[in-house]
Amino acid sequence: KQEVTQIPAALSVPEGENLVLNCSFTDSAIYNLQWFRQDPGKGLTSLLLIQSSQREQTSGRLNASLDKSSGRSTLYIAASQPGDSATYLCAVSPPQGGSEKLVFGKGTKLTVNP
């Protein structure tokens, strides 16, 4: 059974710092990996999706990498801002079936202090 772990559970950094969030998964047979952001009281917003054949994806100050063989992904946030404060969730989809039944990690709660 696929399990997704995110460490740390919470992270607090000063504004302007570059930071890395970690995600690990137990089964390397995945179709894709997604990073989401969740603001308090809101739903999830997709940030980046990395296909299994890709190594990384970038969007603005965000860069996500994928190492399938080691079962790891990282989300790099450059020059963090208070508006980046949110919970970040990682999710993987299994390769079979195509229904994309995502398996989520429990998230990392990020606080960026001004």
Partner 1 sequence: NAGVTQTPKFRVLKTGQSMTLLCAQDMNHEYMYWYRQDPGMGLRLIHYSVGEGTTAKGEVPDGYNVSRLKKQNFLLGLESAAPSQTSVYFCASRRGAYSNQPQHFGDGTRLSIL
From candidates 12, 18, 26, 46, binder to partner 1 by CB under 8 A: 46
Give the residues across from 93 on adjacent strands: 32
Say how many residues make up the chain: 114
Count of residues of this chain found to bind partner 1 when the rule CB under 8 A is applied: 23
What is the closest distance, in whole angstroms, from the C-beta atom of residue 58 to partner 1 in the complex?
15
Q: Should residue 45 be labelled a site residue for partner 1 when binding is judged by CB under 8 A? A: yes
Cα separation, 72 vs 51, whole angstroms: 13
Half-sphere exposure of 88 (CA within 13 A, CB side): 30
From candidates 107, 108, 110, 112, binder to partner 1 by CB under 8 A: 107
Residue type, 58: T
Q: Are 91 and 106 in contact (CB under 8 A)?
A: no
Give the count of beta carbons closer than 10 Å to the beta carbon of residue 74.
17
> Please, which residue, 41 or 114, has the CB nearer to partner 1?
41
Site for partner 1 in 77-106 (CB under 8 A): 89, 91, 98-102, 104-106
Q: Which residues bind partner 1 (CB under 8 A)?
A: 31-32, 34, 36, 41-46, 49, 51, 89, 91, 98-102, 104-107
